[in-house]
Amino acid sequence: MTTKLPPLVLHLLAALGCLVLLVLLTLVTDPFTNLRIATVGYYLIAVAGLALLTGFNGQVSLGHGAFMFIGAYTVALLVKRVPAFPIWADLLLAVLAGGLAGLLAGAAAARLHGPYLAGATLALAVGLPAVTQRFPDLFAGSNGLSFTVNSQPAGLVGVVPPTRWQSWIVWLSVLLALVVLANLARGRLGRTLRAVRDDEVAASLAGVHVGRTKILAFLVSSACGGLAGGLQAFLLGTAAPGSFTPALSLSLLAALVLGGLGSLWGALWGAIALVYFQVWTDDFAELLSLRSDIADNLPLALYGVVLIVTVLAFPAGIQGGVRKLWVRVRRPAPSQRGES
Amino acid sequence: MRSRRSVTAIALACALVLAACGGAGETPAAGGGDKGEPAPGVTDTSVLIGSHQPLTGPAAPGYSKISVGAKAVYSYLNDNGGINGRKIDYKVEDDGYNPTKTVEVVKKLVLQDKVFAIVGGLGTPTHSKVVEYLNSEGVPDLLVSSGALMWDNAAKNPKTFGYQLDYTREGKIQGQYIKEKFAGKKVGLLVQGDDVGTDTQKGLDQFIKDQIVSRQTYDPANTDVTPQLSALQAAGAEVVVCECIPAFTALTILTSLKIGYKAQLVVSSIGADPATLAGLVEQFAKQGGAQVSGAALLTGIIGTRYLPSARSLDDPWTAFFKQIHDKYIPDEAFTDTLVYGMVQAYTFGQALKAAGKDLTRQKLVDAMSSGELKGPGLTPFAFSKDSHAGYTGALVFQIAADGNVTTLQEAKTTDRETGPVSDYKAAQLKPEDVKLVG
């Protein structure tokens, strides 16, 4: 490349290209596949947020589902109680709510290490949904909230199927958030995050404020979680405690490890695996026509097997494998090596 | 400062696009309603129906067998020529009792598989998230596997029909029984923290409001009920009414044992299947490293029931379903839960037959609300033009030491408001009276 564009412009152009591709993809697929594509979108941003926290900053969070919970309930309550707000304002507030919660959680977490941090965040995932039981009038208890989101401009109703329109909104939001994340990861914050991950003492000697960096990582990461939850609520029209179990938080982390910890690309593979692996194994289990108690649990078991095998074969996840392959393909032309 | 300018431009562009749409909570101008297409999922030789069931997750222990029972009945109907010449193709999707998954799988069934109807979608927190969608798409949503009152709203949800006895009616029958047989005793409640709890209380309060000393809720995502049972114990409740799904009835029994709490347990029909409970109690105890006898722990528990018991083989319906069971799913335990799914499938078969050869979605809905569906249940359905509620009453039984059930009070029926609880005397129909095939 002869003239070097600034990263922000590059990232924006890449995001625009992805958006065009995704719109094309939704145009050639049926309405239900559109819904699945959108599902990949919101999982992607949740896992990407976690990638920043865990992959770049080395803080393990077993409670990211809690931030999705906050985002989902923010959108749900806004849609129900403040119907005049447009959906983008609801989503923005979901990001803010998630970020705020992350700021508080981060302030506590910055003092914790390793298993203690994991335990504290897990407590968040276990405890927070119980709030719905405490205030059943506001949060509707175990039943949760159910609503219909009106987001389609009047001119497009009936022209674009609802799920297609929703997938566009989801991916527009996700790509914008990814641009922000990619810039942060490449810029100064990304460097300080990695410095703190690798050696806190060295980082602080170099003038990095360790605590502040850790809190900032939590804030950005949980804002992404909030957005993911908000998008989920927007997409499915529901927010219920049964959707935000500790299992969700654990599966986000598992998806990140499967995809590859150190990069935002890993989040993409992880999100795709999270959605499509279930689909494939379900179809597979159906094909085998097994006894119901085996077939019902087969998808989860297979997911576990694939996770273990992937991590054994490629310790850096799917992205690590992809990179290895890429390097092997590119090796014959060492002169072209350089920053991509 | 090229980058800053481009950010502003993009932000402006986005704002313009997004400003074009109205408030997220406002109702758009164009309404849904019946789509004027020929019935999806129907061919001359088959009809495709779907359901969402908890095959995994917190409600799976017990409830995962409902669709197994239903499938056996559909196989039986299909092997005998189907209904009106059509074989029933029954597609079950696992939602893990997770409302998010429910929305996903139901949209899959409607958009991708193009089912003719949803039959027996299970759960209050789950199914409540798809009722509006199904009604706006015009998909018949029949025999919902939950007793919440919200399915019975013919004006708002014309395509949705209940199945089981609703929680308010059941609460009234439980309340009337407790008031009569446990007069003056302190009563504690343990309910699921959703409509199960509120709807049941509406019924119980009509009879035993002054007897209730404590009301505890549980969330199905949290399997520790020690705090709730300790609170009931501390309040001195001598009778505990448990409106719980099977897994939580089992947890209640085990936790009571652990904390040394002995109260008379009154369990509602959703979690009172003796065979399923015995299995769960033993399984959970084993996972916790203890050996218990399910039969011993269950002895004396009082429950309500509106379907024939899997134990009473002299009931013609039980005998009929046992035959189907022995032929198609001999490896599964023949439990009340299995019978629940079998009755549900048989009832759908009746509605499908009544809808006629020239099948449309509207005809199926009309058949449901015709009021002519009479079947295996111990009490009649409330189905009519104005009511979409399912079974209208229940009997009260007690589990004996040998696992059999003894009837304490014969079937009574009531309404969902403040009407009286009265004896139901009409003779039960036999399988020969409502033959579907052969």
Q: What is the pLDDT of residues B363-389, one digit of tens each?
A: 999 999 988 888 788 898 999 988 999
Looking at residue B10, what is its pLDDT? 52
As beta bridge partners, residue B264 has B239
Chain B positions touching A163 (Cβ under 8 A) are 107, 111
Distance from CA of A260 to the nearest CA of B (A): 26
**What is the mean pLDDT of the segment spanning B261-284?**
90
Q: How is domain B46-165+310-391 classified at the architecture level of CATH?
A: 3-Layer(aba) Sandwich (3.40)
Which among B64, B133, B194 has CB closest to A143? B194
Instruction: Note whether A146 contacts B124, CB cutoff 8 Å.
Output: no
What rounded mean pLDDT belongs to chain A?
A: 87
Inter-residue contact B431 to B316 (CB < 8 Å): yes
Instruction: Note whether A158 contacts B129, CB cutoff 8 Å.
Output: no
- The pLDDT confidence band at residue B27, using thresholds 50, 70 and 90, is low
**What is the mean pLDDT of the segment spanning B141-155?**
91
Residue of B nearest to A9 (CA): B3
Distance from CA of B437 to the nearest CA of A (A): 27
Q: Does position B437 have pLDDT exceeding 90, yes or no? A: no
Distance from CA of B161 to the nearest CA of A (A): 19
- The pLDDT confidence band at residue B39, using thresholds 50, 70 and 90, is confident
Chain A positions touching B101 (Cβ under 8 A) are 243
Instruction: Note whether B23 contacts A129, CB cutoff 8 Å.
Output: no
As beta bridge partners, residue B51 has B92
Inter-residue contact A169 to A87 (CB < 8 Å): yes
Chain B positions touching A148 (Cβ under 8 A) are 27, 132
As beta bridge partners, residue B88 has B47
Q: Does position A154 have pLDDT exceeding 80, yes or no? A: no
Instruction: Note whether A142 contacts B125, CB cutoff 8 Å.
Output: yes
Instruction: Note whether B55 contacts A176, CB cutoff 8 Å.
Output: no
Which among B27, B60, B220 has CB closest to A242? B220
Cα gap B169→B149, rounded to integer Å: 9
Of the candidates A300, A280, A296, the one whose C-alpha atom is nearest the C-alpha of residue A36 is A280
Instruction: Note whether B111 contacts A30, CB cutoff 8 Å.
Output: yes
Instruction: Note whether B25 contacts A82, CB cutoff 8 Å.
Output: yes
Burial of A208 (0-12, 13-18, 19+ CB in 10 A): middle
Inter-residue contact B146 to B125 (CB < 8 Å): no
Instruction: Note whether A143 contacts B125, CB cutoff 8 Å.
Output: yes
**Strand (E) or helix (H) holding B220:** none
Distance from CA of B180 to the nearest CA of A (A): 32
Looking at residue A330, what is its pLDDT? 80
Distance from CA of B99 to the nearest CA of A (A): 6
Distance from CA of B105 to the nearest CA of A (A): 10
Instruction: Note whether B128 contacts A146, CB cutoff 8 Å.
Output: yes
At B181, which amino acid appears? K
As beta bridge partners, residue B399 has B405
Chain A positions touching B100 (Cβ under 8 A) are 232, 236, 238, 240, 243
Which among A9, A133, A243 has CB closest to B2? A9
Chain B positions touching A300 (Cβ under 8 A) are 56
Q: Does position B15 have pLDDT exceeding 80, yes or no? A: no
Task: Out of A178-182, A228-232, B76-80, B286-290, pick the least confident.
Answer: B286-290
Of the candidates B358, B383, B363, B388, the one whose C-alpha atom is nearest the C-alpha of residue B373 is B383
Cα dihedral across residues A46, A146, A140, A275: positive or negative: negative
Fold match, B46-165+310-391 / B167-305: yes
Of the candidates B345, B335, B343, B413, the one whose C-alpha atom is nearest the C-alpha of residue B375 is B343
Q: Does position B418 have pLDDT exceeding 60, yes or no? A: yes
CB-defined contacts A:B, below 8 A: 175
Domain ranges for chain B, please list them: 46-165+310-391, 167-305
Instruction: Note whether B14 contacts A176, CB cutoff 8 Å.
Output: yes
Burial of A115 (0-12, 13-18, 19+ CB in 10 A): exposed
Which among A133, A282, A291 has CB closest to B217? A133
**From the candidates B3, B75, B100, B157, which should be mutated to test the interface with A, based on the most A CB atoms within 10 A?**
B100
Residue of B nearest to A278 (CA): B94
Q: Is B28 helix (H, G, I), strand (E, B) or coil?
A: coil
Distance from CA of A256 to the nearest CA of B (A): 21
**What is the mean pLDDT of the segment spanning B306-333?**
91
Which among B3, B104, B125 has CB closest to A9? B3
Chain A positions touching B222 (Cβ under 8 A) are 126, 130
Instruction: Note whether B219 contacts A78, CB cutoff 8 Å.
Output: no
Looking at residue B197, what is its pLDDT? 86
Instruction: Note whether A32 contacts B108, CB cutoff 8 Å.
Output: yes
Chain A positions touching B331 (Cβ under 8 A) are 291
Instruction: Note whether A86 contacts B18, CB cutoff 8 Å.
Output: yes
Q: What is the pLDDT of residues B71-109, one digit of tens each?
A: 999 999 999 999 999 999 999 999 988 898 999 999 999
- pTM across the whole model: 0.85
- The pLDDT confidence band at residue B37, using thresholds 50, 70 and 90, is low
Cα gap B191→A145, rounded to integer Å: 19
Instruction: Note whether B18 contacts A87, CB cutoff 8 Å.
Output: yes
**What is the mean pLDDT of the segment spanning B109-128?**
92
CATH 2.60.40.10 for domain B167-305, yes or no, is: no
Looking at residue B6, what is its pLDDT? 54
Report the percent of chain B where pLDDT is more than 90. 52
B29 vs B266, which has greater pLDDT? B266
Q: How many residues does chain A have?
A: 340
- The pLDDT confidence band at residue B34, using thresholds 50, 70 and 90, is very low
Which among B20, B22, B195 has CB closest to A143? B195
DSSP-derived letter for residue B58 is: T
At B346, which amino acid appears? Y
Q: Does position B185 have pLDDT exceeding 60, yes or no? A: yes
Instruction: Note whether B112 contacts A30, CB cutoff 8 Å.
Output: yes
